[in-house]
């Protein structure tokens, strides 16, 4: 199986030993307490599950700036996005241990214990340098920029020991999986070549066929459909609805033992190209050999060029990633050929030869109980989404 990113063995930061975890929880009661923001909590969950291997905790300011500007830490580890714990709490002192509390679970239970190696004030200028490099813009209307600039101006860095997986295991017991668990399942299925498909949305026909195309082109053993389960921007479809829609599609339209449906506990960054590279890093940690990167991968609005998320991989140093990128064009249903194609493979087509619907148009149709054309969306999937949008409209 493909090696993890940056090390020979996966090193998840979740404390799996029950006695050790109980002792740490007892210790936590006597430590200074910090309720972290959702972004820092999500970083802890990803570190816990081995997704952010080989990191051992939160980055300091020098590493964060270096990663933002040059996609590498100060000691030369290739990494695309700063993994930080920013706060407005100025009471924490370096040199001690603190209990990190979870902002996303009732009662704010202890999520992790942190050894605070450094406490650094971050200037507005440094926040802007990081934001502009990560997101490619400082526009406050960009949801990722708005979130990042609101996280705080005190950076806490140091290793962590994670004691639970926040709300993800309880709310998504059938779907949430750590990188460790995904590796184990890939091994148990006997898969060697595995293609990852990233999604924060339900999958329509074009997505479904793209997975099929990648699997056939690469002669892969299976597809990992890997959905984000954390925080999204307003208007995105909630994870439980998306999960149900994807499961129905796979159940009805894919052969048995060709697809793993899983999810990971992270908040969407909407960082376009940089997030695409992060996706590649942690899919390698999951044991995947390939990642599908299509048009406007992890993008939002018009902030990124259609294929910027593919071009950025030219900046990845040779040998840094073992995982390979499957570069996909925009896919759509061809009325001429009666099948989904990559649009670049149909140069004789005009726009009218494709079934193209905007996300807004699809939402309007679903909200009115009108099924999108079957060339765009499987009827069983459309029914799940339609029920959600109609309930939303009725509630409003």
Any idea what the CATH number is for the domain that residue 95 is in?
Answer: 3.10.400.10
Q: Is 365 exposed, middle or buried (0-12, 13-18, 19+ CB in 10 A)?
A: buried
Q: Which domain holds residue 256?
A: 174-395
- Asked, for residue 273, whether it belongs to a domain, the answer is yes
Q: Is 9 domain-assigned?
A: no
The residues carrying an active-site annotation are 200-201
Q: Is residue 146 part of a domain?
A: yes
Within a domain: 115: yes
- Residue 110's pLDDT is 98
165 falls within a domain: yes
Instruction: Give the phi and the psi of residue 32 in degrees, each rounded to 5.
Output: -55, 145
**Nearest one of 69, 99, 94 to 158, comparing CA atoms:** 94
The pTM assigned to this predicted structure is 0.94
Do 283 and 249 belong together in one domain? yes
Q: What CATH number has the domain bearing residue 220?
A: 3.40.50.620
The confidence score (pLDDT) of residue 359 equals 67
Q: Is residue 238 part of a domain?
A: yes
Residue 202 domain flag = yes
Q: Supply the pLDDT for residue 238.
A: 87
The answer on 183 and 160 residing in a single domain is no
User: What letter would DSSP give residue 112?
Assistant: E
Residue where a domain terminates, one of 137, 169, 201: 169
11 within some domain: no
- Are both 376 and 232 inside the same structural domain? yes
Q: Is the same domain home to 194 and 339?
A: yes
Same domain, yes or no: 183 and 221 = yes
Chain-centroid distance, C-alpha 89? 27
pLDDT at 396: 61
Tens place of pLDDT for every residue, the chain, 396 residues?
A: 999 999 999 999 999 999 999 999 999 999 999 999 999 999 999 999 999 999 999 999 999 999 999 999 999 999 999 999 999 999 999 999 999 999 999 999 999 999 999 999 999 999 999 999 999 999 999 999 999 999 999 999 999 999 999 999 999 999 999 999 999 999 999 999 999 999 988 888 889 999 999 999 999 999 999 999 998 887 788 899 999 999 999 999 999 999 999 999 999 999 999 999 999 999 999 999 999 999 888 999 899 998 999 999 999 999 999 999 999 988 888 988 998 888 888 889 998 998 886 666 787 888 888 888 888 899 999 999 999 988 877 776
Which two tokens mark 243? 């999960």
Domain end marker among 148, 169, 190: 169
* Domain count of the fold of the chain: 2
Can you give the pLDDT at residue 181? 98
Domain boundary among 169, 197, 226: 169
**The token pair that represents 208 in the structure block:** 């479904």
Structure tokens at 183: 């590796």
CB 218 within 8 Å of CB 326:
yes
* 344 and 380 part of one domain: yes
Same domain, 244 and 138: no
pLDDT at 290: 98
151 lies in the same domain as 288: no
Q: Are residues 205 and 223 in the same domain?
A: yes
Same domain, 202 and 349: yes
Do 161 and 276 fall into the same domain?
Answer: no
Q: Looking at the structure, do residues 147 and 220 belong to the same domain, yes or no? A: no
pLDDT of residue 321: 97
């Amino acid at each position: 199986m493909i090696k993890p990113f940056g090390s020979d063995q996966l090193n998840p930061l979740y404390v799996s030993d029950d006695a050790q975890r109980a002792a740490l929880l007892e210790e936590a009661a006597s430590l200074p307490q910090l309720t972290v923001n959702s972004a820092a909590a999500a970083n802890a969950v990803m570190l816990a599950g081995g997704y952010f291997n080989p990191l051992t905790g939160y980055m300091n300011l020098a590493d964060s700036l270096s990663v933002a500007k040059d996609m590498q830490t100060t000691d030369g580890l290739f990494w695309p996005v700063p993994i930080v714990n920013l706060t407005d709490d100025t009471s924490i002192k370096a040199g001690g241990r603190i209990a990190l509390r979870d902002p996303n679970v009732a009662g704010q239970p202890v999520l992790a214990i942190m050894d605070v190696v450094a406490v650094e004030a971050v200037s507005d200028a440094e926040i802007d340098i990081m934001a502009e490099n990560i997101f490619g813009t400082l526009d406050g209307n960009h949801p990722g920029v708005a979130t990042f600039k609101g996280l705080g101006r005190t950076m806490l860095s140091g290793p962590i020991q994670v004691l639970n997986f926040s709300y993800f295991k309880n709310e998504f017991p059938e779907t949430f999986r750590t990188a460790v668990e995904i590796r184990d399942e890939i091994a148990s299925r006997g898969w060697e070549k595995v293609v990852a498909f990233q999604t924060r949305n339900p999958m329509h026909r074009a997505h479904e066929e793209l997975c099929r195309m990648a699997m056939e082109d690469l002669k892969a053993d299976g597809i990992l459909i890997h959905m984000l389960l954390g925080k999204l921007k307003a208007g995105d479809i909630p994870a439980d609805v998306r999960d149900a829609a994807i499961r129905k599609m796979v159940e009805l339209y894919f052969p048995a033992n060709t697809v793993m449906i899983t999810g990971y506990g992270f908040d969407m960054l909407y960082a376009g190209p940089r997030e695409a590279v992060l996706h590649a890093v942690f899919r390698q940690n999951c044991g995947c050999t390939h990642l599908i990167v299509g048009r406007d991968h992890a993008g939002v609005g018009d902030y990124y060029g259609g294929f910027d998320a593919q071009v950025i991989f030219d900046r990845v140093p040779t040998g840094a990633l073992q995982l390979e990128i499957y570069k996909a064009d925009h896919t759509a249903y061809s009325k001429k050929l009666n099948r989904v194609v990559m649009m670049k493979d149909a140069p004789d087509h005009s726009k009218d030869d494709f079934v193209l619907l905007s996300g807004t148009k699809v939402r309007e149709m679903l909200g009115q109980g009108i099924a999108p054309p079957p060339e765009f969306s499987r009827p069983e999937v459309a029914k799940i989404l339609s029920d959600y949008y109609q309930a939303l409209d009725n509630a409003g």
